[in-house]
Structure 1
Amino acid sequence: MNNSRKRSLTGIRPSGTIHIGNYLGAIKPALECQKEYECLYFIADLHALTTNKDAGAIREQTLDIVATWVALGLDIEKHLLYRQSDVPMVTEFAWYLSCCTGVGFLEKAHAYKDAVQNNRDVNHGFLAYPVLMAADIVMYDVDIVPVGKDQKQHVEMARDMAGALNAAYKQELLKLPQPVIHEQVMTIPGLDGRKMSKSYKNEIPLFSPEEVLRKRVMSIKTDSTPIDQPKSLKDSLLGELFKLFATPDEVADLEARLNNTNMGWGHAKEELFDVINRDLQEPRQRYLELRKDEAKLCAILSEGAKRAYTIGRPVLDRIRKATGVGLIP
């Protein structure tokens, strides 16, 4: 790895089947960072425990994520992929941040406020979620964190916590990361127009078989304009999704045909399926091959954790020394 390059970090929770919204909103922008940054990608299995108590599901979904990222182009020779729990010192790091973070500050987190307003049970891990997330980031001297608009607050909170610790010990101990938001993929719409989410059951699974992908695409909601009437991709859910996979020329061509020919939404959905499938066909095959070799996937995680440790340990030692904790030579 080239230590002269700035560092980027992205994490994803093992929380079910990976869908197109995850791919376009988080994975694809994060993988593009490989061109300019030293990249750390981690699987946030400890975060998953706040809501998921199914050990088998977490293990399986963790391996799904490894296979997915590598299939989509993660270069494991030049960059890191590791499991959060394989670098357990991150929980110690979170404690130092916790001791400089007020409870009222944590209660401002959007996810926490939403849970309280909807009378959902909230455990301590859920409340303290932003602290562990901050530790995930600042323990590695990260420069940027690519996120969707709805995740920006987490990076801002990490900056605030790192700044509070720096102020408490009157030293610039921790680097303040910058959120990087890719405007063109802010929020990916699902089949019903709401944000694509497993909780809404409106997702398109990323590596589903072609026949399943087609069925999901054909279920997209459209208006009831007759086939012989002009239509437009503008301000339509189908148009939003088509633009994410098609070239500008393909978008313009489909728009012209919808406006000027007897073309129904069903035909347009078929073309949406074609462009999505074109983009995912090769990585889907790579994913299926990788997923069969669990020993290889575990080895990737193990090697990533070793390399992550070498980056994070000096930062942890800085904090230990500043706080008077532990024996630092």
Structure 2
Amino acid sequence: MGKILTGIRSTGVPHLGNILGVMIPSIKISNMNKKNSSFIFIADLHSMVKLSNMKSIKNNTYQIAAAWLAFGLNTENCFFYRQSDVSEVTELAWYLSCFFPYKRLTLAHSFKKKQNEKKKSKKEISLGLFSYPILMAADILLYNAEIIPVGKDQLQHIEIARRIASFFNKKIGKQLFKLPNAFLQKETMSISGTDGEKMSKSKNNWINIFSSDDILKKQIMSIRTDSKSLEERKNPEKDYIMYLYKLIASSEKVNEMKEKYIKGGYGYYDAKIELYNLIIRKFSTERKRFFSLMKKKSFLDGILYSGSKKIKSIAINRLNEIRKCLNFNPINL
């Protein structure tokens, strides 16, 4: 398996969609991959386009790091680092931006969506939001990563990274960059939240397994349902509780709940309680680890510092190769 790279923005604790769609698959691939072929980073630079309170980035970074470690990421077997510690990625982003047409970036879904929102609120869009796909491409191309685990909504960004790599290679007449490929798991390519829309903290439709029991229960109880009574039969294929339950329960337990839905005499409240209890049981070890790690900020700092130091020389050597192609002087180590 080739080099794999993935990152999660430091906009707060990862929600269930992040965990099932990105973190668990990435850890599994990292464990199967040969040593130091996996690049897993905390995208704190990317988070700047979302956060209004910059003071929260640091604590958010701790939360992301603690979550990765809680789920068993082996940092000895991969590169685990903070994006902002590797300044070479921003230098590469500038080079890439000079080789990619402005008009193509205006077609990015994330930009167009935000542009429509801003028209309503009459607020300006930052240049950082507009050039977001360029920085994402730099994250990938700096290490010639080949496999990028993403959700369905990120597919266009991988395609943009491929286009940028192709433009750059053609311009300098050398296959300097490999073209990355998106890796999607069908069942977790786009995980719905409590309202059936894509799970998102900004939409407040997320499930936070690292919250207190009371808050977690409240989030699960907010899952949208139809108005069928307890006695009525229910359709398990068109229910958001059942949808989330299927993502984490065994096939045996899923079939048991389906039978209850179809038979009737089983209410949505009961289904929500089952989902809540399942999450508490299934992720009990990870929750304990997370809460423990969040009390050890100096330990987390050490892990991130070690990871950033390990990858720094690789980033510099790679950037020197790119600088040489552009007739710039190399960076002195």
Normalized against structure 2, the TM-score is what?
Answer: 0.93
Contact 2:316–2:331 at 8 Å: present in 1 too?
no
> Which residue of the other structure, out of 185, 188, 192, is the alignment partner of 1:189?
192
Paired positions, count: 325
Q: CA deviation at 1:17?
A: 3.3
Partner of 2:24: 28
Paired with 1:212 and 1:130, the residues of 2 have a C-alpha distance of 34
- 1:10 maps to a residue whose letter is T
Paired with 1:328 and 1:48, the residues of 2 have a C-alpha distance of 28
Partner of 1:7: 3
Q: Which runs of 5+ in 1 are unaligned?
A: none
Q: CA deviation at 1:310?
A: 2.8
Q: Which runs of 5+ in 2 are unaligned?
A: none
Contact 1:141–1:315 at 8 Å: present in 2 too?
no
> Which residue of the other structure, out of 262, 275, 287, is the alignment partner of 2:278?
275
- 1:41 maps to a residue whose letter is I
Contact 2:209–2:279 at 8 Å: present in 1 too?
no
Contact 2:10–2:61 at 8 Å: present in 1 too?
yes
Paired with 1:225 and 1:174, the residues of 2 have a C-alpha distance of 55
Residues 282/328 of structure 1: CA separation in 2 closer, same or farther (3 Å cut): closer
Q: Within 5 Å, which residues of 2 pair with 1:33-44?
A: 33-37=29-33, 38-44=37-43
Tell me the SS of whatever aligns to 2:49.
coil
Name the stretch that deviates more: 136-145 or 111-120: 111-120
Q: CA deviation at 1:236?
A: 0.9
Tell me the SS of whatever aligns to 2:38.
strand
Partner of 1:106: 105
Q: CA deviation at 1:258?
A: 2.4
Structure 2 residue 173 is the aligned partner of structure 1 residue 174: no
Paired with 2:290 and 2:331, the residues of 1 have a C-alpha distance of 44
Paired with 1:317 and 1:296, the residues of 2 have a C-alpha distance of 32
Q: CA deviation at 1:99?
A: 1.3
- 1:48 maps to a residue whose letter is S
Partner of 1:235: 238
Contact 1:321–1:328 at 8 Å: present in 2 too?
no
Counting aligned pairs with the same residue, the percent is 38
Contact 1:23–1:206 at 8 Å: present in 2 too?
no
Pairwise CA RMSD: 1.6
Normalized against structure 1, the TM-score is what?
Answer: 0.94
Partner of 2:293: 290
Q: CA deviation at 1:328?
A: 7.5
Q: CA deviation at 1:312?
A: 2.2
Q: Within 5 Å, which residues of 2 pair with 1:47-62?
A: 47-62=46-61
Q: Deviations over 1:168-219 (max 9, x none)?
A: 0000111111111111112211111111111211111130122222222122
Residues 93/269 of structure 1: CA separation in 2 closer, same or farther (3 Å cut): same
Tell me the SS of whatever aligns to 1:319.
helix
Residues 15/328 of structure 1: CA separation in 2 closer, same or farther (3 Å cut): closer
Q: CA deviation at 1:259?
A: 2.2
